[in-house]
Amino acid sequence: MSPTFRGRKQYTSQNVIAAMNRGMRFTYVLSGWEGSAHDASILADSLSRPDGLQILEGKFYLGDAGYACRPGILPPFRKTRYHFTEFYAKHRPQNAKELFNLRHSSLGVTIESAFAAMKNKFKVLDQKLFHAFDTQVKLALACCIFHNWILG
């Protein structure tokens, strides 16, 4: 496997972009990008595909700091406090950007929790895989489908 598919820990990894609704169900999943791919490149690809991510007029998806601000994608403000732990009784948000980032972070925790729950249910996602890469891509998609099915 080429170096682009090697993650920080030097084993094969892939990057997955997923959109999720408020019920923590996946509404869009694209897997198969190399682990070293930049989030913005994957997003651009997913938006350009005929069967790709569709963002309805007037609707938005939260994006992490790896995404640029673009129509329908709301990343946090850069160089502004973000993580929930940075805000406490004596250090409440001081301006609109900090308040936005605090609320963004709170919603982001929900998304991260859904991914953690899925990895907890499907241990194969959190292990060093010995399957062919095409199989790894399909495993990620299958786990997202099963996750949705379990939620009902």
Q: pLDDT of 49-97, one tens digit each?
A: 999 999 999 999 988 888 888 889 999 988 887 776 777 767 788 889 8
Rounded to two decimals, what is the model's pTM? 0.79
Q: pLDDT of 73-83, one tens digit each?
A: 999 988 887 77
For residue 86, the one-letter residue type is: E
Domain boundaries defined on the chain: 3-146
Name residue 74's beta-bridge partners.
62
Asked whether the beta carbons of 26 and 144 are under 8 A apart, the reply is yes
